[in-house]
């Protein structure tokens, strides 16, 4: 048997992410800015943003669940850290790992189902 030089990469995610297109707000370097959440889980998300977000800095994200049946929108702010960022076309994508998974984030995820 022949061994290959390239090792397979492991999936480090604890839970699967749900694809979405949620309009969110995020704060990195002091100011709140609009973004689009491309996917989300209890422990992280991928955002499409208009600026390069340096890897390793603290990031806060405010999610608002889609309104269903006239109910109030569930809103939650989640603290995290930028773990990767890259330019994709005309915008940047940034991966955010959450420090904790607050109760309200589960409500946002449930509304996406």
The set of residues, in sequence order, having a beta carbon less than 8 Å from that of 28 and lying 6+ positions away, is 53, 54, 57, 58, 59, 60, 82
DSSP state of 33: E
34 φ, ψ (degrees, to nearest 5): -75, 155
Q: Cα(first)–Cα(last) distance of the chain, in Å?
A: 46
Find out whether 49 and 94 touch, Cβ atoms under 8 Å: yes
| pLDDT one-digit tens code per residue, 8-62 | 444 455 567 889 989 999 999 888 999 999 999 999 999 999 999 999 999 999 9
Is this model's pTM higher than 0.85 or not?
Answer: no
- Which is higher by pLDDT, 7 or 34? 34
Q: Band of the pLDDT at 71, cuts 50, 70, 90?
A: low
Quick: pLDDT tens for 54-70. Answer: 999 999 999 987 666 66
Domains of the chain, each with CATH number or no CATH: 18-111 (2.40.10.220)
């Amino acid at each position: 048997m022949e061994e290959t030089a390239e090792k397979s990469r492991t999936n480090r995610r604890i839970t699967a992410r749900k694809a979405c297109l949620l309009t969110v707000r995020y704060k990195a370097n002091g100011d709140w800015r609009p973004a689009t959440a491309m996917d989300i889980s209890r422990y992280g998300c991928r955002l499409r943003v208009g600026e390069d977000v340096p890897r390793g800095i603290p990031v806060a994200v405010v999610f608002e669940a889609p309104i269903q049946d006239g109910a109030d929108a569930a809103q939650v702010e989640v603290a995290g850290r930028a773990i990767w960022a890259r330019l994709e076309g005309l915008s940047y994508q940034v991966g955010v790992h959450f420090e904790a998974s607050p109760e309200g984030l589960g409500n946002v995820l449930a509304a996406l189902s």
